[in-house]
């Protein structure tokens, strides 16, 4: 009996060690889900009413807009880029924001980030230090893609609340878009004011190839602050609708 228990314990230790080894490199698929109707509600009049156009759109279109992105990672780098296409997504969705084709390369050794962002008709190549956020740990725990995840919250653009669930079982300090800086991989990200979530749907335990980390440097060269200021200036004529587009841009 003692020998059986010893064998079982050894097998569990081997399995845990194997999982820890495998999750230092892999590919994570994220589903980005945006509540289009909630975005359009923000467009409503001050009295809470909505235009006939918005009412008609809601009657003939789905409430949520989904996109998929892939994140390849190892101990030293990660790259986030568009993944599988979703049928029916060719049509424009109101309030969708200019972040459908973002590519973000994070180097955990040099602490540098490179990103290609298409903001409507303008392509930008962003190069800067990795973003540092003042994450606050919370008590909530949930399971995402079979990984135990811990909750943390932070802010971007001074006032935009960000909620993240990260797992220490994948020790890479990365995540979707330009988010990271936690003691493990971000498996779910939510930005309530954009009515959008990024959720890991699956993790493939594969070693990324060098070609997976390729990124083009074409586009207007800016740092993160320069991108923010450029977009804010370009969209100032949009009035209150400019703000959310700036938030989308600096993700």
Q: What is the pLDDT of residues 19-58, one digit of tens each?
A: 444 589 999 999 999 998 888 877 655 555 667 888 888 8
Is-contact 74 172, C-beta < 8 A? Answer: yes
What's the token pair of residue 207? 């070693």
What pLDDT sits at residue 21?
47
Q: Give the mean model confidence (pLDDT) for residues 3-30.
A: 60
State residue 114's pLDDT score: 97
Residue holding tokens 């314990």? Answer: 9
d(CA 234, CA 242): 9
Residues 6+ apart with CB under 8 A from 37: 58, 63
Q: Which residues contact 107 (CB under 8 A, 6 or more apart)?
A: 76, 77, 113, 114, 130
pLDDT digits (tens, 9 = 90+) for 147-196: 999 999 999 988 999 999 999 999 999 999 999 999 999 999 999 999 99
The pLDDT, as a whole number, for residue 16 is 44
Q: How far is CA 96 from CA 46, 87, 219, in A?
A: 22, 16, 22
* Number of C-beta neighbours around residue 165 at 10 A: 27
pLDDT (0 to 100) of residue 238: 67
Domain boundaries in the chain? Answer: 24-132+196-249
Strand pairing of 220-222 and 122-129?
parallel
Tell me, what's the pLDDT at 205? 94
CB 28 within 8 A of CB 70: yes
Mean pLDDT of the region 86-99: 71
Say if residue 94's pLDDT is above 90: no
Q: Give per-residue pLDDT as tens, 185-239.
A: 999 999 999 999 999 999 999 999 999 999 999 999 999 999 988 888 887 766 6
Cα(181)–Cα(17) distance, rounded to whole angstroms? 24
Closest CA to 176 of 122, 64, 99: 99
């Amino acid at each position: 009996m003692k020998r059986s228990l010893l064998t079982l314990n050894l097998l569990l230790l081997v399995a845990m060690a194997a999982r820890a080894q495998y999750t230092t490199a892999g590919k994570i698929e994220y589903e980005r889900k945006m509540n289009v109707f909630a975005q359009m509600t923000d467009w409503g009049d001050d009295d809470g009413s909505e235009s006939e156009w918005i009412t008609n759109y809601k009657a003939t279109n789905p409430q949520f807009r989904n996109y998929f992105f892939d994140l390849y990672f190892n101990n030293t780098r990660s790259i986030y880029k568009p993944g599988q296409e979703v049928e029916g997504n060719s049509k424009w969705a109101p309030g969708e924001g200019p972040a459908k084709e973002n590519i973000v390369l994070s180097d955990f050794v040099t602490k540098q980030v490179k990103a290609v962002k298409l903001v409507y008709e303008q392509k930008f190549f962003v190069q800067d230090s990795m973003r540092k956020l003042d994450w606050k740990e919370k008590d909530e725990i949930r399971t995402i893609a079979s990984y135990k995840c811990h909750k943390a919250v932070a802010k971007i653009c001074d006032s935009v609340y960000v909620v993240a669930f990260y797992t220490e079982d994948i020790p890479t300090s990365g995540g979707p878009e330009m988010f990271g800086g936690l003691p493990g991989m971000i498996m779910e990200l939510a930005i309530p004011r954009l009515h959008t979530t990024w959720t890991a749907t699956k993790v493939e335990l594969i070693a990324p190839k060098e070609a997976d980390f390729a990124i083009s440097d074409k586009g207007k060269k800016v740092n993160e602050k320069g991108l923010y200021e450029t977009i804010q200036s370009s969209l100032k004529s949009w009035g209150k609708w400019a703000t959310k587009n700036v938030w989308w841009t600096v993700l």
